[in-house]
Amino acid sequence: MELRPPNIRHLAALAATVRHGSLTRAARAVNLTQPALTQLISRLEDELGCALFERGPRGMTPTEPSLLLAPRVETAIGLIGSSRVTGTQVRAFLALARAGSYATAEQATGLSSASLHRAVADLSVALAQRLVERRGRSVILTSGGARRARAFGLAMAELRAGLDEVAAWQGQRAGRIVVGAMPLSRARWLPQTLLRFTSVHPGVAVRVVEGSYGELSPPLRDGEIDVILGALRDPASLDDLVQEEVFRDRPAIIMRAGHPLAAASSVTAEVLACYPWILPPPEAPLRQYWEEMMRAGGVAAPPAWIECGAVLTVRQLLVGSDALTLLSPEQLAVELADVC
The CATH number linked to 104 is 1.10.10.10
118 near 103, Cβ under 8 Å? no
127 residue type, one letter: L
- 115 lies in some domain: yes
Out of 98, 118, 141, pick the residue that ends a domain.
141
Q: What SS3 class is residue 184?
A: helix
Task: Assess whether 317 and 300 both reside in one domain.
Answer: yes
Its domain, for residue 205, covers: 175-248
Task: Assess whether 273 and 330 both reside in one domain.
Answer: yes
- 3 lies in some domain: no
Task: Assess whether 256 and 242 both reside in one domain.
Answer: no
CA 197, CA 3: separation in Å to the nearest integer?
A: 26
Task: Assess whether 125 and 92 both reside in one domain.
Answer: yes
304 near 281, Cβ under 8 Å? no
- 24 lies in some domain: no
CATH number assigned to the domain comprising residue 228? 3.40.190.10
332 near 257, Cβ under 8 Å? no
Task: Assess whether 271 and 299 both reside in one domain.
Answer: yes
Out of 201, 230, 248, pick the residue that ends a domain.
248
Q: What is the mean pLDDT of each run of 10 residues along the chain (340 residues)?
A: 63 90 88 89 89 83 94 93 86 91 87 91 93 85 94 92 88 83 82 91 89 89 90 79 84 92 90 95 88 94 91 90 89 57
pLDDT of residue 295: 94
- 45 lies in some domain: no
pLDDT of residue 5: 64
CA 298, CA 17: separation in Å to the nearest integer?
A: 66
Task: Assess whether 256 and 331 both reside in one domain.
Answer: yes
- 150 lies in some domain: no
Q: How far is CA 146 from CA 127, 143, 177, 237, in A?
A: 14, 5, 24, 21
Half-sphere exposure in the Cβ direction for 143 (13 Å, CA): 0
Task: Assess whether 258 and 226 both reside in one domain.
Answer: no
Characterize 76-87 residue by residue with b for buried, 16 or more Cβ atoms within 10 angstroms of its Cβ, and e for exposed.
bbebbeeeebbb
Distance from chain centroid for Cα 170: 26
- 184 lies in some domain: yes
Output the CA angle 240-244-245, nearest 5 degrees: 145
CA 14, CA 6: separation in Å to the nearest integer?
A: 13
Q: How many domains does the chain have?
A: 3
Half-sphere exposure in the Cβ direction for 211 (13 Å, CA): 16
Cis peptide before 219, with omega less than 30 degrees from 0? no
Task: Assess whether 304 and 328 both reside in one domain.
Answer: yes
Query: Full-prediction pTM beyond 0.75?
Result: no
Out of 233, 248, 263, pick the residue that ends a domain.
248
Task: Assess whether 267 and 289 both reside in one domain.
Answer: yes
Element (H, E) at 210: strand 205-210
- 114 lies in some domain: yes
Task: Assess whether 133 and 182 both reside in one domain.
Answer: no
- 243 lies in some domain: yes
Length of the chain equals 340
The values of phi and psi at residue 209, to 5°, are -115, 120
